[in-house]
Amino acid sequence: MLMALLLGYLLLGASSSGGPWFLGGGTYHQLSKEIDKLEPAKDKRKEIDRTLKEIEAEGAKLKSERSKLAKDTLAALENHDTPAERFQELAHRADAINTDANKSLLDLRFTLRSELSESQWRQLFPPPPVAPSP
């Protein structure tokens, strides 16, 4: 869907990628496979699986909201008679979705962090190859 593209990033920022931004573009299934390789303790693995399911559910919820927002935004852009106020409404709606999604995804990021050791975290989420300028 278009929202994964420029329009989506303009409206929703990083959460527009359709899933948790901290996966770095990967999917829940890829993350689960990577976690298997780290061989966490069995009791920890259950907790991790629970968190992964929540991440997946959050991604699905975001995808649905994003899809509706995309449809409404594209209709507003295509219609010659759309008043300026309609764009403000859509922007407010996008910001509310973005705030909620960021909060939930950050909560889940920190939950997952607490379930993995420092070295497991580093293996799972290495820094990107290019460091940003300060």
Binding site for another protein (CB under 8 A): 2, 4-7, 9-11, 13-14, 21-22, 24, 74, 77-78, 80-82, 84, 87, 91, 95, 98, 102, 106, 109-110, 113, 118, 121-122, 125-128, 130-133
Q: Of 39 and 78, which CB lies nearer to another protein in the complex structure? A: 78
Cβ atoms < 10 Å from Cβ of 95? 13
- By the 8 A CB rule, do 2 and 74 touch? yes
What is the token pair recorded at 40? Answer: 């966490």
Q: Cβ 11 to another protein, closest distance in Å?
A: 7
Q: Of 41 and 74, which CB lies nearer to another protein in the complex structure? A: 74
Whole-angstrom distance, CA of residue 56 vs CA of residue 104: 12
Q: Of 9 and 63, which CB lies nearer to another protein in the complex structure? A: 9
- By the 8 A CB rule, do 113 and 51 touch? no
